[in-house]
Structure 1
Amino acid sequence: MGFLLQPGQTVVFAGDSITDAGRTLDLGIVGETPLGEGYVRDVVGLIDARYPGHGLAVHNTGIGGITTAELTHLWDEHVLAREPDWVTILIGINDCHRTLYEDGRAVPPATYEANLRDILDRTRAAGASVVLLDPFYMWLPADRGDQPGQVLEFLGAYHQVVHRLVAEYGTLHVRTHDVFQEQLAHRPLPEIGVEPVHPTPSGHLVIAHALLDVLRW
């Protein structure tokens, strides 16, 4: 089977700041780069290079700082209203961080799962295909005693949620965290991450390639 994205289809990318990547300005106002400057733009550029004239309608709806709690409220207006054929979802690191360090805004794994189920149910009812990307943290597990190690360890519960939902809903799956762990085994963090959460341009390209591989490009 060839490339899963067919000519003329509509693709919506949803997520937090990693997806946003400069798409929005203060207060969520869309700036002059509606695709952002990260992996969404890279995906589009790579598709255009390999399949000129493919004619996809691509929308980046990423918003910096959000969790699945906010995303559930935005889903119909920001995503389903665009009548997508495909939706990609990369979210969870803020859910993890807030649960560890901001009790009043916590989104523990059980709530994260309930929110994603709600999103997946609505998306399936709308007839769109889904790609779930694991939330990732660019840190090796050698030292779990420090704060990054704590985040890395706790994030595993969110990975379990995504993996369970992938199996249950039959979505496509990008093991983004594993991909970055492999990168870190061969490259220093500054090459692929501004810090453990936000990728550099090279790190965004890593995501783009992993996503396109799953889409059989």
Structure 2
Amino acid sequence: MNKKDLLLFIGDSITEAGRYEDPEQIGFSYVRYIRDYMAINRPESLPTIINKGIGGNRVPDLAERWEADVLNLKPDYVSISIGINDVWRQLDSPHQESLSPEQFKEVYANLIEQVRARTNAKVILMEPTVIQENVDAQGNRLLIPYVKAVQELAESYNAVLVPTHTAFIAYLQKENHQVLTTDGVHMNTAGNMLMAQTWLQAVLN
């Protein structure tokens, strides 16, 4: 990764996190932590970073804006974080139509196929994080097949896998673990730090 590269992050509110209010349009999510780490530790190779997170998005929402927000920008790296709303809405509105893990994987695979066909971007897939800071919460149980789908897609397409769900679950099992979210889903500063650290270890190492 170098200063001529365009690194694009796309996802839901966990990625968006204040980007519209931020003059730099980066926001205050893990994306800023990643940007700041790279700016301090390797300023000579700091890429241009764009945040395209939009709150509430599910994988079909990404599909609707994929052309404008990803393909047309010709990124060199595209980092995708999606899946929480695909599951969270099942808990929030059980009768609302939602994508099965198989359908989720199919739509997601099509997005990756388009990136491969239309750009030279390296694809980075982030596991969906957590729903409630309880390893055995219903939301986390429901997330398991979606996390597995992301893992399988990373393997199938030789993408970089950022094991964010795995990291969060491991952290929540540690003694004296700290609170990571404001509401079980949206990150506080510690949660953003854990996301950023997991991303940096997977992508830069």
TM-score by length of 2: 0.91
> Could you report, residue by residue, the CA deviation over 1:53-105 in whole angstroms, capped at 9, with x for unpaired residues?
32411100000001001110101101121110000001001001223443334
**1:50-89 alignment, distance < 5 Å:** 50-89=41-80
The corresponding residue for 2:139 is 151
Letter in 1 for 2:63: T
**1:1-217 alignment, distance < 5 Å:** 5-24=1-20, 32-102=23-93, 103-125=95-117, 126-137=119-130, 138-141=132-135, 144=136, 149-186=137-174, 187-190=176-179, 192-217=180-205
CA RMSD of aligned residues (A): 1.6
Deviation at 1:106, TM superposition (A): 1.1
* Total equivalences in the alignment: 201
* Unmatched runs of 5 consecutive residues or more in structure 1: 26-30
Deviation at 1:33, TM superposition (A): 4.4
Distance 1:204 1:100 in 2: 24
Distance 2:142 2:96 in 1: 18
The corresponding residue for 1:28 is none
* Unmatched runs of 5 consecutive residues or more in structure 2: none
Letter in 1 for 2:126: L
Distance 2:99 2:90 in 1: 5
Q: Among the aligned pairs, what percent are the same residue?
A: 28
